[in-house]
Structure 1
């Protein structure tokens, strides 16, 4: 079964270092909490809001050992009025036997506003 694992984070400004760093820590936690093996990963999609343009966030994934051959694609979010600014969203497509409710979706910084229901569920799962 292929499952999608979601994550999102925000940055304070469109600076390469902060974008790569924030994306790296988001991906690292997604991988750790869900025990993701790159060999079980079909692909990774990373989207950004229009106000992020200084670097491809996928650069962060290439810094994680073992992930150099996993297909990754960056794209733009649709520009919805009043959407969360400076936001990076990630979708990892992974082959797993886990049930939907066992997947831990990860949200950092202001992105916790996107899915507070899942953030709370993840915290309970961590307890």
Structure 2
């Protein structure tokens, strides 16, 4: 349900752009995983396919949620926030594994997009206020 029919606020526009950018990045990871699955000499096929399917599904979900939020579908906000908050443990374990250069920005991205999604202009545009 859309309440506010005015222009899309900047916070919502940025959230949609960042969700779509995350979808593209995860899609590239999924493409690399597919290539890796096809060219690996030895592998646990079940695990490889599950990880690849998870990456593909995540990319599709992020892209779809970005589109739904761009159309001001209020029901897309909660799943988008959940996906953004999932970046916190991922980033934490990257930091623990010595990839702080990637983990810290991922955590910042998750918190930043979550902030955009719960901001007052976004709430108004999605009909929560």
State the TM-score, normalizing by the size of structure 1: 0.28
Higher helix share: 2
Question: Which of the two has greater strand per residue?
Answer: 1
Highest Rg: 1 or 2?
Answer: 2
